[in-house]
Amino acid sequence: MENETRELEKKLVYARKNIYEAADEALKKDIFDFAEDYKAFLNAAKTERESVEQAVKLAEAAGFRSFKECESLKPGDKVYMTNRSKNVLLFVIGQKNITEGVALVGAHIDSPRLDLKPNPVFEAEGLGLLKTHYYGGIKKYQWTAIPLSLHGVVFLNDGRKITLNIGENDCDPVFCVTDLLPHLADEQVKKPAYQAIEGEKLNLLAGSIPVQDEEVKEKVKFTILKYLYETYSITEEDFASAELEAVPAGNARDVGLDRSLVGSYGQDDRVCAYTALRAILDMKEPQYTAACILVDKEETGSAGSTGFKSRFFESALVQLTEKLNGSCSLADLNQLLVNSMCLSADVSVAVDPNYPEVSEPMNSAYINRGVAICKYTGSRGKGGTSDANAEFLSKIRKVFSENGVFWQMSELGKVDAGGGGTIAQFVANMNIETLDCGTAVLSMHAPFEITSKADVYMTYKAYKSFFEMQ
Ligand code: MN
Ligand code: MN
């Protein structure tokens, strides 16, 4: 009798298992091996442009070809397209006609950071500094007094493109936003945290040696401009046509004595970008055409020519359909879209033992319990979310369970605690079944975000099983 009750309990109660309570040695090895590749990607891809570059490199090594160079396409073929160096879209052509739908996984490769202003260089109190404008949702106080590197491109007046990456090698100099000493911070520490550091104080320290010339007005600024000109041919006006991003300097690290966690900048959303990328690179030939898109501008609302709301994705589908079928009518496109499915691959929040009060324990993701599925994001009364259809969730959880994917349901915090969004709603607006599904993160948007290696691996397995769905 007692046994029967136990059995029935097992069947009836929704239990989320810790992956390590069930993992054998082989799975543990897979988890830890995968994390090494993941960290290498994080170190090489700190910006959207670098992420695209790395993705294309890995894709080409895995047999993907540029769509532009393909005369014709057949099932099993692997192709990629890029958009303005900031999006990459990869396809593996399926057995079924593309109008029967694609299986799309969409992640973003932009992360919160400090962008240089278009006219950034100035001098004050004998120091040379660079003005910044923060990008995405940051807690500004987290970005002071840590080493920062500078990544990006500058287009010179003659059109030449200069690529910068300063601060990642141990021998490189780094930059830093200075902060007030506690001894003199009486007024500062009384302010609410969001006001403690003002946006206009997020200036990067960039030098201190003045030129020895009485006639030059701003002597330290001159030295900085001279260095930039001699090293990169950059003049002050060239910053107008530049995109330079200050991000935390240094590599991804193992966190914890058991090395079970990854600590790094930019895991929102490079964790889903990398796992989605690896899933499409490693997958076997699919029934439905598999698509993986890595987009920019999610952190600022997905607008612009490189955000998900751009026409890039839709026109790519039309181009691909034309190449496969000879033509693509509006009816073909509509059919393709309504038949398509998408996992919106973005991070979720993991319950933090320091701040359990913002999470509702029954509906929150926990570290080491698998890929986090979010039926809806948004805020207040589900404002700003597409809210995935139950029919689609039913399909997805079946696929995950059949493929040994540990998964857990999650919400983005307590009902009244705040909220957020992903690209899901914009994909769903195209009439594509869409579900948020990604890795749970601690310290999201901080300069050093934490994920679980086991969850990262399960996210990869989730996307791979989705692509390989029959
Ligand atoms: Mn995100
Ligand atoms: Mn984010």
User: Nearest bound ligand to CA 443?
Assistant: 2
Q: Which ligand sits nearest to residue 345's alpha carbon?
A: 1
- Percent of the chain that is helix, strand, coil (3-state, to 5): 35, 25, 40
Rg (CA), the chain: 24
Ligand nearest to the CA of 112: 2
- Is the Cβ–Cβ distance between 115 and 209 less than 8 Å? no
Distance 421 CA to ligand 1 centre (A): 8
In angstroms, the CA 427 to CA 435 distance is: 10
SS3 of residue 83 by DSSP: strand
Measured in angstroms, how far is the CA atom of residue 111 from the centroid of ligand 2? 7
SS (HEC) of 238-307 = HHHHEEEEEEECCCCEEECCCCCEEEECCHHHHHHHHHHHHHHHHCCCCCCEEEEEEECCHHHCCCCCCC
Give the number of whichever ligand sits closest to the CA of residue 270. Answer: 1
Share of the chain above pLDDT 90, in %: 94
Residue whose C-alpha is closest to residue 353's, from 362, 363, 366, 371? 366
Q: Distance from the CA of 268 to the center of ligand 1, in angstroms?
A: 5
CA atoms within 13 A on the CB side of 266: 32
Q: Helix 312-325 crosses helix 330-338 at what angle (to 10 degrees)?
A: 110
Q: Where does the pLDDT of residue 5 fall: very low under 50, low under 70, confident under 90, or very high at 90 and above?
A: very high
Per-residue confidence (pLDDT) for residue 77, from 0 to 100 = 98
> What is the pLDDT at residue 419?
85
Indicate whether 374 pLDDT > 90.
Answer: yes
**What is the spatial distance between Cα 30 and Cα 460, in angstroms, rounded to a whole number?**
11
294-312 CB burial, b ≥16 within 10 A, e <16: bbbbbbeebeeebbbbbeb
Mean pLDDT of 12-33: 95
User: What is the spatial distance between Cα 340 and Cα 466, in angstroms, rounded to a whole number?
Assistant: 12
The tokens describing 71, both together, are: 């005369």
Whole-number Å distance between alpha carbons of 255 and 262: 6
- What superfamily would CATH give domain 2-111+265-467? Zn peptidases (3.40.630.10)
Q: What's the rounded mean pLDDT across residues 103-124?
A: 98
pLDDT band at residue 163 using 50, 70 and 90 as cut-offs: very high
Distance 205 CA to ligand 2 centre (A): 26
Q: Give the position of tokens 């397995």.
A: 461
Residue 200 has pLDDT above 80, yes or no: yes
Q: Closest Cα partner for 435 from 454, 413, 405, 409?
A: 409
Q: What is the mean pLDDT of residues 319-331?
A: 98
| Residue from 467, 462, 365, 309 nearest 18 by CA | 365
Q: pLDDT tens across 33-71, in order?
A: 999 999 999 999 999 999 999 999 999 999 999 999 999
Centre of ligand 1 to C-alpha 445, Å, is 9
Segment 79-106 shows an average pLDDT of 98
Output the pLDDT for position 418. Answer: 86
Q: What is the mean pLDDT of residues 198-224?
A: 97
Q: From ligand 1's centre to the CA of 35, what distance in Å?
A: 19
* Residues, the chain: 470
| Confidence band, pLDDT 50/70/90 cuts, at residue 188 | very high
The pLDDT of residue 74 is 96
Mean pLDDT of the chain: 97
Ligand 2 centre and the CA of 106: distance in Å?
14
Using pLDDT thresholds of 50, 70 and 90, give the confidence band for residue 470: confident
d(CA 58, CA 468): 20
Region(s) of the chain under CATH 2.30.250.10: 113-248
Distance 6 CA to ligand 1 centre (A): 40
Asked if residue 202 lies in contact with residue 173, where contact means CB atoms within 8 angstroms, the answer is: no
CATH number, domain 113-248, options 2.30.250.10, 3.40.50.2300, 3.40.640.10, 2.30.110.10: 2.30.250.10
Q: What is the pLDDT averaged over residues 100-116?
A: 98
Distance 136 CA to ligand 2 centre (A): 7
Question: For 392-426, what is each residue's pLDDT tens digit?
Answer: 999 999 999 999 999 999 998 899 888 889 999 99
Q: Name residues whose C-beta falls within 8 Å of residue 394's C-beta, 6 or more positions apart in sequence.
A: none
Query: Please, where in the chain does CATH 3.40.630.10 lie?
Result: 2-111+265-467
Write the CA distances from 168 to 55, 171, 247, 278, integer angstroms. Answer: 20, 8, 10, 24
- Residue pair 70/434 in contact (Cβ under 8 Å)? The answer is no
Split at pLDDT 50, 70, 90, the class of 16 is confident
pTM: 0.97
Q: Is the pLDDT of residue 85 over 80?
A: yes
How far apart CA 406 and CA 397 sit, in angstroms, is: 10
* pLDDT, tens only, 223-268: 999 999 999 999 999 999 999 999 999 999 999 999 999 999 999 9
How confident is the model at residue 176, as a pLDDT?
A: 98
Neighbours of ion ligand 1 (CB under 5 A): 268-269, 346
Distance 39 CA to ligand 1 centre (A): 18
Q: How many Cα atoms sit within 13 Å of 427 on the Cβ side?
A: 32
